[in-house]
Amino acid sequence: QVQLVESGGGLVQAGDSLRLSCAASGRTFSGLAMGWFRQAPGKEREFGAVISRSGGDTYYADSVKGRFTISRDNAKNTVYLQMNSLKPEDTAVYYCAATRHYELGYVPRRQYEYDYWGQGTQVTVSS
C-alpha cells in the first residue's frame, strides 16, 4: 500500500511559479511511476505529466509542456511538479497518483490506470 499527500498549492498571479510536492508513505514507491493530474470545477480530471520509477523518463501533456517539470527523489519518497509561467487556465485541484503501467514503454494517461491517489491540492491563478 502507498499513501500519497500533496502540498504546495495556493493562490498566485498569472506568470508566477509554484512547486507542488507529493510525499509517499508505505512501501513500493520506488517501484511505481508517478503522475500528476488536475481537475477544474465541472471538468473531467485530465492528465498532466508522468515520470518513470527511476526518474529517467518523463512525458507531458501539450497543455503543460515547456512550462511544468515533473521530478522525483526516491530517497525522500517524494515527487514534485515545478510549475512556471502559470496561467488562469491552470487553476484546478492537482492530484498526484501512482501507476504500474509506465514500465513497458507505454505512457499511462488515463485515470483508471493509476492505483493510488492523493487528496489533491488547490492551485488558483488569478489574472
How many angstroms separate the CA atoms of 2 and 47, rounded?
20
The per-residue pLDDT for 27 is 73
Q: Would the pLDDT of 104 be above 90?
A: no
CA angle, corner 117, sides to 63 and 66, nearest 5? 20
Percent of the chain with pLDDT over 70: 99
| Gyration radius from the chain CA atoms | 14
The per-residue pLDDT for 26 is 82
Which 3 state secondary structure label does DSSP give 112?
helix
Report the pLDDT averaged over residues 75-94: 97
Q: Provide the CB-side half-sphere exposure for 63 (13 A, CA).
A: 12
Residue 15 near residue 86 (C-beta atoms within 8 A): yes
